[in-house]
């Protein structure tokens, strides 16, 4: 079997995006368009993946430097045929070349495998699609027997050819040795003065080679992005694809149209996700997890049986099994909550470890802290962890009780079983098992009158 070389064309400017960002860097599902195409190409286990970039200069390879691809610059944008030619040096004559596009992000690996399977040393294969409105696409022309004869671009099509609904997607698989010869013979005598890759189809037919076609399962697979409207349409198609995948894996979604997946989601059994939830990065949802409405969860692991109530932000954290978060909680990076932890409304936790069964239920900030087991943190408690230059840690031992409206000025330790009286400012270590508080004596001033505004006369 010949080696597979994938060439991805990503040099277009995207003028209709009205953006300084190269088109292929615009995000879909939280990832650049080009990253989706590369990820799909790599599923085919090709010998190499070559990306031809142009507009935006080095910005595209710099932003996507982590991709396992070879970068080739197209200095002048002279058409798709010219772009492919830039990538051909070093490609073996015995290879099969698969041409993809950096702004066509939803193509499936299954479709591409069928396509590559039809190509060979003496055969081409391309993806075509039947469109109700093929405006903007090249048309597939066939003879009376149904064989492909050539592709005509819309600007060069005759009035008789324009009504053809079978459109060319530009995605094709072709033997490399023959492709090199055809590319060398391309001309630019057409309406756009460009070297069209599609002209190689007519050359192949002239040499007696069969041209096979493959239709995608959905037309969204082969739709490109040329403006913000099309990007939004593909975003919805992508999100529906992700929602379908999750539901088929057993996840219950309150409304598949109101979920956004912007990364990888791994879910266990009997997971429920309510409306307007955004899942970013790598998110793991354990068995029986319930996610309420209007939540953002990013790069986090939610343990089995945990519940995230409405309007929370969880990022870079591990939530232990059986925990309850929210509503209106924020759990920030490097936080680890053990089993059965309760984090309530308007509570923020950052870079802290919280032990099993502890509760931080109301209007509190816990940062840079070690919180033991079965600790109760009262409403309005804050750890004062930043002195203006450095962060300091607070340690709270098992079974401690922190009264409401307490400030723990780090570095400080509250011993196991200690009680902190409400309204205290703790600047020194509190011993275990004892009551510690810092309050000024309560006084009452008899006869005190609050100042009052003078009322105008009359």
**Alpha-carbon span 439 to 448, nearest angstrom:** 22
Which residues, other chains included, contact 381 with Cβ-Cβ below 8 Å and sequence gap of 6+? 360, 364, 365, 366, 402, 403, 404, 405, 406, 407, 408
Cis peptide before 411 (omega within 30 of 0): yes
Asked whether 80 and 49 are in contact (CB, 8 A), the reply is: no
Asked whether 264 and 246 are in contact (CB, 8 A), the reply is: no
For 338-384, the DSSP string reads -TT-EEEET-EEES-EE-TT-EEEES-EEESEEE-TT-EE-TT-EEE
**Alpha-carbon span 100 to 8, nearest angstrom:** 5
Cβ-based neighbour number of residue 407 at 10 Å:
17
Which residues, other chains included, contact 175 with Cβ-Cβ below 8 Å and sequence gap of 6+? 2, 94, 95, 96, 97, 119, 120, 121, 122, 123, 124
> What tokens does 182 get?
């055809």
Which residues, other chains included, contact 221 with Cβ-Cβ below 8 Å and sequence gap of 6+? 104, 106, 107, 108, 111
- Sign of the CA dihedral with 143 first, then 148, 150, and 156 last: positive
For the chain, counts of helices (H) and of strands (E): 7, 39
For residue 119, the cross-strand partners are none
**Letter string b/e over residues 275-313, b meaning 16 or more CB atoms within 10 A of that residue's CB:** ebbbbbeebbbbebbbbbbbbbbbbbbbbbbbbbbbbbb
3-state SS, one letter per residue, for 410-423: CCEEECCCCEECCC
Cis peptide before 327 (omega within 30 of 0): yes
Task: Give the residue numbers marked as catalytic.
Answer: 362
Q: Which residue has the tokens 């459109």?
A: 167
> What tokens does 123 get?
């055969």
**Alpha-carbon span 241 to 124, nearest angstrom:** 30
């Amino acid at each position: 079997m010949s080696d597979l070389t994938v060439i991805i064309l990503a040099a277009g400017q995207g003028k209709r995006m009205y953006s300084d960002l190269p088109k292929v860097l615009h995000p879909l599902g939280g990832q650049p368009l080009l990253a989706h195409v590369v990820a799909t190409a790599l599923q085919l286990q090709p010998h190499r993946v070559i990306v031809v970039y142009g507009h935006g200069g080095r910005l595209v390879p710099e932003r996507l430097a982590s991709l396992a691809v070879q970068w080739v610059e197209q200095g002048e944008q002279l058409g798709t045929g010219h772009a492919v030619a830039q990538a051909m040096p070093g490609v073996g004559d015995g290879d099969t070349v698969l041409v993809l596009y950096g702004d066509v992000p939803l193509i499936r690996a299954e479709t591409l495998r069928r396509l590559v399977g039809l190509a060979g040393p003496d055969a081409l294969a391309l993806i075509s699609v039947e469109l109700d409105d093929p405006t903007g696409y090249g048309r597939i022309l066939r003879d009376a027997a149904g064989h492909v004869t050539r592709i005509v671009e819309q600007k060069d099509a005759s009035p008789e050819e324009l009504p053809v609904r079978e459109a060319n997607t530009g995605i094709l698989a072709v033997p490399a040795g023959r492709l090199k010869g055809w590319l060398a013979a391309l001309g630019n005598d057409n309406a756009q003065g460009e070297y069209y890759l599609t002209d190689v189809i007519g050359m192949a037919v002239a040499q007696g080679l069969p041209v096979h076609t493959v239709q995608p399962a959905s037309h969204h697979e082969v739709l490109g992005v040329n403006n913000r409207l099309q990007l939004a349409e593909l975003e919805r198609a992508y999100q529906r694809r992700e929602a379908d995948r999750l539901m088929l894996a057993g996840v219950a979604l309150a409304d598949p149209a109101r979920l956004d997946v912007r990364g990888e989601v791994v879910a266990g059994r009997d997971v429920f996700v309510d409306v307007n939830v955004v899942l970013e990065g790598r998110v793991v949802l354990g068995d029986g997890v319930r996610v309420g409405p209007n939540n953002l969860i990013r790069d986090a692991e939610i343990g089995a049986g945990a519940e995230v109530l409405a309007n929370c932000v969880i990022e870079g954290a591990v939530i232990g099994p059986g925990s309850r978060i929210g509503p209106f909680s924020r759990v920030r990076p490097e936080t680890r909550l053990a089993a059965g932890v309760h984090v309530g409304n308007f509570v923020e936790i950052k870079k802290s470890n919280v032990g099993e069964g502890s509760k931080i239920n109301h209007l509190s900030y816990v940062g840079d802290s070690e919180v033991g087991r079965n600790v109760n943190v009262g409403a309005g408690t804050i750890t004062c962890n930043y002195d203006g230059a450095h962060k300091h840690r607070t340690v709270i031992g098992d079974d401690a009780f922190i009264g409401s409206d307490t400030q723990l000025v780090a570095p400080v330790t509250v011993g196991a079983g200690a009680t902190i009286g409400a309204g205290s400012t703790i600047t020194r270590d509190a011993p275990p098992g004892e009551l510690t508080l810092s309050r000024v004596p309560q006084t009452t001033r008899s006869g005190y009158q609050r100042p009052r505004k003078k009322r105008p006369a009359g």
